[in-house]
Amino acid sequence: MASFYPLYTDADLHTDTLLAGEWMDKDSTLWDFNYITIQEKDKPQVTDSTGYTLSFQEKGKERGKSVMEIRVVRLEAYCFLDFYVRNIEREGYPDFFDLHTMAIHTFARVTQKGDSLLLTWLGTEWVQEQARQEMLKVAYLERNDEILLTARTPDLQKFMVRCAGIPEAWEKGTSFILHRASH
């Protein structure tokens, strides 16, 4: 499930240390979270500690060139990550393909358990079933079983908090357990 709008406003962003550094998943893929850096022409580089860039390195391969922007969003008793594709590097594809690509946001619930993080996305089947029964209770568009949330940020926040309290919404969602990478 994807969203046209982010799960946060600028007022929701605060300095955060939850993700900083390198993490590994069960497939030994390295998830490298670094604070966002901003470089404007003729100005010194600035670090934005309210968000991260994420790059991946699969075991035995070179680090990927594609980068995602991640924001930690704390809503009520829950913590979510907003994933946004910042840069896609596709070798061999002409720029024409970029005209047909729209960056969207996806949201994962994050739970910290000791030195581990559990990242879980809403279950696609649950979202589709809610839409079929007209019970999704958030603005969206649907095409061929693909759902794009179109609600603005305040309504998205209410929707995600409501979903956070529904265990079956997350049961079949994609999930990753990340552990601090050791060198």
> Length of the chain in residues, anyone?
183
- The mean pLDDT value for 129-154 works out to 94
Ramachandran category for residue 118: left, alpha or beta (phi over 0 → left; psi -120 to 50 → alpha): beta
As a whole number of angstroms, the distance between CA 104 and CA 160 comes to: 16
pLDDT digits (tens, 9 = 90+) for 42-86: 988 889 999 999 999 888 888 777 789 999 999 999 999 999 986
User: Residue 19: how many CB atoms within 10 A of its CB?
Assistant: 21
The span from the CA of 172 to the CA of 88, in Å, is: 28
* pLDDT tens per residue across span 5-50: 999 999 999 999 999 999 999 999 999 999 999 888 898 888 999 9
- Evaluate whether 178 touches 23 at the Cβ level (below 8 Å): yes
**Domains of the chain, residue spans:** 2-180
pTM of the predicted model as reported, rounded to 2 decimal places: 0.90
* Residues near 133 by beta carbon (within 8 Å), at least 6 away in sequence: none
The alpha carbon dihedral of 36, 39, 40, 43 has a sign of positive
One-letter amino acid at 123 equals G
If phi > 0 it is left, if psi is from -120 to 50 it is alpha, else beta; for residue 97 that is alpha
Per-residue pLDDT reduced to its tens digit, 83-128? 998 666 666 655 666 666 778 999 999 999 888 999 999 999 999 9
Q: Classify residue 104 by burial, with Cβ atoms within 10 Å: 0-12, 13-18, 19+.
A: middle
Note the pLDDT of residue 145. Answer: 83
